[in-house]
Structures are given as structure tokens and as C-alpha cells.
Amino acid sequence: MTRRAFIYTRISQDRTAEGLGVQRQEEVCRDYAMSHGLDVVEVFSDNDVSAFSGRRRRSYEAMLERLRAGSAEAVVCWRMDRLHRQPIELEEYANVCRGERGASPILTYAVTAGGEIDLSTADGLLRAGIMGQVARFESDTKRERARAKALQKAQAGEWQGGARPFGWQIDGKRLVLDRVEADALASAHHDVLAGRSLGSIIRDWNDPDREGGPLLTSVGKPWGYAQLRQVLLRARNAGLYEFNGEIMSRDKIPPIVSEDVWRGVCTVLKAPERRRSQSNKAAHLLAGIAQCQCGEPVRSATVTGRADKETGAKPKYTVYRCPAKGPGHVGKREEYVDAVVEIWIMRLLGQAYREEPEDPDVLARAERLRAELEALRMREEEGGRLLAFGEMLPSKIAAFNEAIRRQRAGLEEQLAALGLGRGEELDPLQAFNTEMANVHQRLNAWLALPLDDRRDFIRSRLHIVLHSHDKGSSRVFDPDTVSVHVKSKREARRTLTASEILDLPRTTLDVPNAPDDMFEPSHIMVRRWIDSRVGSTYDPRRPDRQRFAALEEEYPS
């Protein structure tokens, strides 16, 4: 009687994804079945699936179900370790092969080693178990040799193989910097420390109109949030060779950024409060950033205004409103608040422009120093967090802080030597006492940024507090009820408490001791600002042109 047989093939790793390994196994098994009078009725194959990985072998499971149903009396495989290497799997397979009481057992045929094996007998089960243990021994030995070789390469700083890491090229066994990618990666580290979002960096790198074309991953694909975050978190960026979570060397790979900058970026990206969701995109400039005078972040809302006396129509307005209701909690028209904040941002950009060195090399050096200082600040915060959670001993924190202090003093000394020890207080008069055309150009570049980028800029640089109007003027917007404070370097990622808000003096757009022909009163300044804004462009001449056009219409020449 001819036995019906299944063929089972498996290969642990298919590097080419062409299935050639399992195809060769099937050919050998078919020849064996033909020579032994077996009728092959079906072939089951698990390609690129390890017997040790824990991944489901769906074809193997399907074969067991068919065997339980009595669809075959034999199984042909290349070797017994193709079927299983785990003893628990062998037990399950043996139970299936024994069949029901009185039924003929299902025989297994191992082509290259073992021959016919009857798992219903003690001898057959022993042979199968020994072959599985031998295969496991060979696999473990191979794994240990591979691990030892990988460890040796890690200690020597040699490339382990695989996809080329972004930022480097492979030269023999060594990693050498890819200058274009390395510069972009260094800038991304500094941008993250400065408060820029990963989404904006991704948009920049993927932009087809980017100078030199889009900057793709090392495998030629566009960037996504997860890919960029993973690349920024690599220890390799700081020249550290990491193996199984342990730093093996610090001087074998050319670094892209300093270790302090890399660790600072890791602290930012791993912060629990960092927003991970890519949905629910913000639609308002200051929602969740500006604070009510009670300390609560404000939200956006839509309100209905008073009816027009002539048409009776009730206009709708967007406001920033405190989530708490009642006296002492604010609600203000969004366009007015945004206008006040944007005026302060123009002043901030103007002061930065005035203090900026003309030499681009000096500017690049200053930006690197500032990034290093921000990274040290992040490390200092991380040290405090580790102490609070018991992950750093109190006896160690003093030495940690002292090392940070020495490094900071050295960096600040270098920054001062460049003549760029920029203060944290904003001088509105100094900000405007410069070439306004250049400031307007920078402002328009800022206004053209995606909303997320502008929000990140504001969140990392400004405290914005909305105060209540004075009694009797609740329906008239007062710019001085929007208080804007430049954040210190230690406050880049925090908000104010209610008690801190009480202690802060209010700010005003009015500039004391300014020439009368240079600055208008704050309420007129806000009105002209709104009239000067068209989309993402600020044009200070637009209101004058509008008035001139109105005069031309009324008094034609």
C-alpha cells in the first residue's frame, strides 16, 4: 500500500528572499519520497522562520491539523531539526504521530540523517530527541561564536554589517563620515535642543525642492517620525560604539556631535511629557501655550459677537479662553493676542539680528557653543530626575553637578570671547534700532514656517500670560493685558505657576523714552499690525497703500 506523505521544508534565514533554500529542500524530499514509494499529496513550507525565534510557523501548524485529520500517513523532511528543535514541540508532534489507539502511526522520514523514524516507539522518540539536542548544540555553539566575533568587532570599532548607518559611509571595516548627512544630522541635534519639532525636520529633509534634493534615509526612503527619532537616539552619533546596550568604545568611530549634545537630545526625546501623537494637529498659534493669569493653559473656542445694528448678523470669533470659568479667568480674541505676540517676536528677531556677528564662521561657532550649553542644561535636569527617582545616589550628584558647572563655565567663556554673551532680557528699543528691512525679511521667513514650528519657537522662548481687563473696559481689547516674557535658558520647557505669575511684572508694547515718530501707542500698533498681515506675510506699507487707494477713490485726480 502506497503511503500518502506530506513534505515539510523550513529555512531560518532567507537573505535573498527568493526561497531557494526551501526549494532545494523540496526537490531532495521529492526524490526521496519517489525512491521509497511515498505519494506526496501536499507540501508545507515556512520560509525565513527560525525554530528558536518564537514566531508562529503557520504552515507547520496547518500540517499538524491535516495530520490529525488523517490526510497523510508520513512526513518527509530534509532533517529532523527542520521540524523542531524545542523538546516541547517534539512532544506535541510525537503525540500527533502516535494517532488514535489502534490506528497506524504516522512515520517521519529524515532525508539526510535518520531515515525512517517511528515516534510511536521509545527508540524512535529517543533518536528524534538526540537529533534535536545535537542540532540545538550546534546552533548554540554557532551563536556563541557569532556573539564573540561581534563583541571583538565592537571593541575594535569595526562595522558589524547590515544597512549603512545614516551619517557615515563604510570604508573597508571602518565607518567614515558622510559630510552631507553628518552635517544634516548635527543640525538636527541642535534643532531639537532649540525646541524644533521632529515633524518640521522631516518636512525639510523630505522636501523635493530642498537644495540638493530630498535627503533620504540610507536605504533611499523618505523619513518618518519613528525613523528620525531612532537615528537621533543612536549612541553612534556621539562616536560611542554600543553593543547589547553597553558602550564598548569611545574613540573608534568619528563623532557627529559631542556626547553632551547627544545625551541632551536623548533627554528631550525620551521626556514623558513630550507629545508623541501625530494626530490632533494644533490649529491655533497659542492654544495650550499661553497661560491664564490663574496659571492654566488657555484653549481655543468660538464665540458669537453682538448683532450688527444694520444687518442683524451675529459674527463669530475665535478666542483664547481659560478652561476654568468665572471671575479672574480670561477670554480674549485670538487675532489680537496673536498680533501682540508676533510684535514681540519681531522685537526678539530684531535684537538677535543686531547681536549677530557678520562673520559666518563666528556665527556657526556660536551656534555650536549654544547647543553645547543647552545640552549641559538638559543633562543637569536629567541628573535631578535620576536623583528624585533613586537612580543616582545623593553622594554622586554633587560631583555630577560640579562637572557640569566646569564645562558650562568653559563654554560660556568661549562664547564671551566671541563677543556674543547674549543676555536674556529683551530691549525693544535696541531691537528696532537696526536695519528693519532685514528684520522684516526674517519675520516673514518665521511667519512662513509651518504652525508646529512657530509654536515650538514660542514654547521654547517665551512665557505668555493673559490678564483680565480693567473694570469698565471689558469689551475693548487692551494689548497690555497680554504679558510676554523672554524665557531664561533654564525655563525652555516649563510653564509658570500661579504664584510665579503674580510675582511677574506686566509687560507693555509701549517703549519708554522712544521717539514719538518711531513708536505708536500699543493699541494703534496692534491695529496696524493686523492690517499689515496678509496670510503668512507682514507688509508694514500695506495700511498706507490702502488709505492712499481710498483717498484716490474719494478724490480722483
Domain range spanning residue 401?
360-417
**Does the residue 58 lie in any domain?**
yes
Q: Looking at the structure, do residues 368 and 349 belong to the same domain, yes or no?
A: no
Whether 241 and 182 map to the same domain: the answer is yes
- Considering only CA atoms, give the Rg of the chain: 35
Domain count, the chain: 4
Final residue before a domain boundary, out of 417, 434, 449: 417
Residue 156 lies in a domain: no
Instruction: Please give the backbone phi and psi of residue 537, each rounded to the nearest 5 degrees, phi first.
Output: -125, 140
Does residue 108 sit within a domain? yes
Q: Which residues of the chain have pLDDT under 50?
A: 16-18, 276-279, 422-423, 555, 557
Q: Where among 269, 300, 322 does a domain terminate?
A: 269
Q: Do the domain assignments include residue 30?
A: yes
The pLDDT assigned to 72 comes to: 93
Kindly state whether residues 384 and 401 are assigned to the same domain: yes
According to DSSP, the β-strands at 246-249 and 241-243 are antiparallel
- Domain assignment present for residue 364? The answer is yes
Same domain, 103 and 246: no
433 and 410 in a common domain = no
Residue 207: count of CB within 10 angstroms of its CB: 12
Evaluate whether residue 284 is within a structural domain.
no
Contact status, residue 52 vs residue 139, Cβ threshold 8 Å: yes
Asked if residue 475 and residue 348 are part of one domain, the reply reads yes
Residue 276, pLDDT score: 46
Residue 129 forms part of a structural domain: yes
Statement to judge: residues 329 and 437 lie in one domain: yes
What angle, 0 to 180 degrees and rounded to 10, lies between the N-to-C axes of helices 334-354 and 522-532?
Answer: 90
Give φ, ψ of 36 to 5 degrees: -110, 15
User: DSSP of 428-462, one letter per residue?
Assistant: HHHHHSS-HHHHHHHHHHHHTS-HHHHHHHHHHHE
What φ, ψ does residue 75 adopt, rounded to 5°? Answer: -130, 130
Q: Which residues of 499-534 are buried (b: 16+ CB within 10 A; e: fewer)?
A: eebeeeeebbbebeeeeeeebeebbebbbbbebbbe
199: nearest Cα among 513, 469, 453: 453
CA–CA gap between residue 500 and residue 431 (Å, rounded): 27
Same domain, 228 and 261: yes
> How many whole angstroms separate alpha carbon 337 and alpha carbon 529?
11
Burial class (CB in 10 A: 0-12, 13-18, 19+), 177: middle
Same-domain status, 394 and 367: yes
CA angle 116, 118, 121 (to 5 degrees): 145
State which of 384, 417, 450 marks the end of a domain: 417
Q: Is the pTM of this model over 0.85?
A: no
Q: Are residues 190 and 245 in the same domain?
A: yes
Is residue 280 in a domain? no
Domain holding 65: CATH number? Answer: 3.40.50.1390
Do 395 and 473 share a structural domain? no
Do 399 and 466 lie in one domain? The reply is: no
- How far is residue 506's CA from residue 509's CA, in Å, rounded to a whole number? 10
